[in-house]
Structure 1
Amino acid sequence: MAARAQRAADLADLDGAVADCFACPRLVAWREEVAATRRASFRDQEYWGRPVPGFGAPGARLGILGLAPAAHGGNRTGRIFTGDRSGDVLFAALHRAGLANQPTSVWRDDGLALRDTRIFAAVRCAPPDNKPTPGERDTCAPWLHREIALIKPTLRVVVALGAFAWAAWWPAMTSVYGVRPPVPRPVFGHGARWSGPDVPTVIGCYHVSQQNTFTGRLTPAMLDDVFADAKHRAGLA
């Protein structure tokens, strides 16, 4: 799998390879079980049931790094953060920031387009209980690292959604940029920020999960502030 990731010549080639990955038995079994049983409200839909590639502009200056696809979101629709409440919150914020052409993301062919932004996940398959293991993150890392390498010439800022994504960034920094992470590693927090020479700035943001948005831990205003900062640092403001 790592060798196949390295051979990917461009994002289209990488996306196709990602969608055919079977490297993690637990995740394969879960994504296929969910696709077969389906949620009652989606029982008339054919689920994607495969790893979910990244989405967005090939010359992105801003990257958004998430955790993993949702079982009845990306695992159903075939596009990251699409068809679930987390995506509703994220794409509404991106639209307000001028980074998306529409505020909704319901299906992979709904006309959504991103401006100078690409979204990808640390783990590409939907995990049970939304909790991939560190081992699954490490197995999936070559896909993430190659995706970052392919947009490296333009990438200036990465927004990490949650502590899991924040932790996934540091090995990518070493693999892609040949730069050692700082010691000790910067602690994740909403609005946390780290910059270093010759690498993108990484900004922490609470994940757009319902646990955060329904409780008020993450508000639309807080998201707007993060993306305003990210746009400024990426030269998009």
Structure 2
Amino acid sequence: MDEARGTTGPGGTKGPSPGPDDPAFPSHRAPRCRSLDALDAQVIRCRACPRLVAWREEVAATKRAAYREWEYWGRPVPGFGPPDAALAVVGLAPAAHGGNRTGRMFTGDASGDFLFKALHQVGLASQAQATHAGDGLELRGVRLAAPVHCAPPDNKPTPGERDNCRPWLAAELDLLSPGLRTVVVLGAFGWQALLPVLAAAGWQVPRPRPGFGHGVHVTLAAADDGRPPLHLLGCYHPSHRNTATGRLTLAMLVEVFREAAHLSGL
């Protein structure tokens, strides 16, 4: 874990660093992390959004009847996947009784079941099911990330909560950037949240910004540091509503990941 650093105030004096309850905690801490392990350790400490903190902890205390024997994670959920991933998958936020329960992104709910089944079919996941953090699942060349790290009420984070959390995702993508080739974005919220993050992380996002759609493919040039272009793919979110109505089928999701794997050299 990176050591705490003071902030420089008037006259060059150092003051205390923002604590985990401070809205400035993500923007202060995230850029100082030099590894994904260090970043994840700081994400887990974050309490910058009071509404999300109250909700995630209430859910962890009251639980769902089916999981009454579980000890819920009840904290921000960090990204999941190897530090040299060539492909990132960006969703929305942890589910109240999914990632907020298991402590691992996209694990323990119907959306995750659908996602991991597709990743397994393409050879990007070691198994088709994800039930808990110690279930043996390994991702191959893929990192799962989210614009918001805490489970939000009704799966709807506010714009302010999204913006508070943005530095974590920007730092995560920057740390992945030496090998990152492709990002699959699940849903319109993730797409809208990601574009300014990519711009902050050093890729050229066109104006007007490209709109979200299933199957959309946008190629972003790196700003000025010699990195290769980044492929951005849009995909409907594997929410229960989308999968139950057939708006997103398993075959459609597998097709997106096959293309992403090809573009990423996986």
TM tier, shorter chain?
A: over 0.9
* TM-score, normalising length: structure 2: 0.87
1:115-148 CA distances to partner (integer Å, 9 max, x unpaired)?
A: 0100010100000000111111111000000000
Higher relative contact order (CA 8 A, sep 6+): 1
5+ residue gaps, structure 1:
none
CA RMSD, Structure 1 to Structure 2 (Å): 0.9
Within a 5 Å distance, the mapping from 1:1-237 to structure 2 comes to 1=25, 2-177=27-202, 179=204, 181-198=205-222, 199-236=229-266
- Bigger Rg, which one: 2
CA distance in 1, matches of 2:134, 2:220: 37
The secondary structure found in structure 2 opposite 1:203 is strand
Cα distance in 1 between the residues matched to 2:221 and 2:175 = 19
1:91 & 1:187 partners in 2: Cα distance?
A: 26
**Distance in 2 (alpha carbons) for counterparts of 1:197 and 1:10:** 24
Distance in structure 2 (CA, Å) of the matches to 1:18 and 1:109: 20
Supply the distance in 1 between the matched residues of 2:134 and 2:45 (Cα, whole angstroms).
Answer: 20
Decide whether the 8 Å contact of 2:212 with 2:234 is kept in 1.
yes
Partners of 1:178 and 1:62 lie apart in 2 by 16
2 CA distance for matches of 1:124 and 1:210? 20
The TM-score, its normalising length taken from structure 1, stands at 0.97
- Return the letter of the residue paired with 2:109: D
Could you tell me how far 1:231 is from its partner in structure 2? 0.9
Alpha-carbon offset, residue 178 of structure 1:
5.2
Q: Percent identity?
A: 59
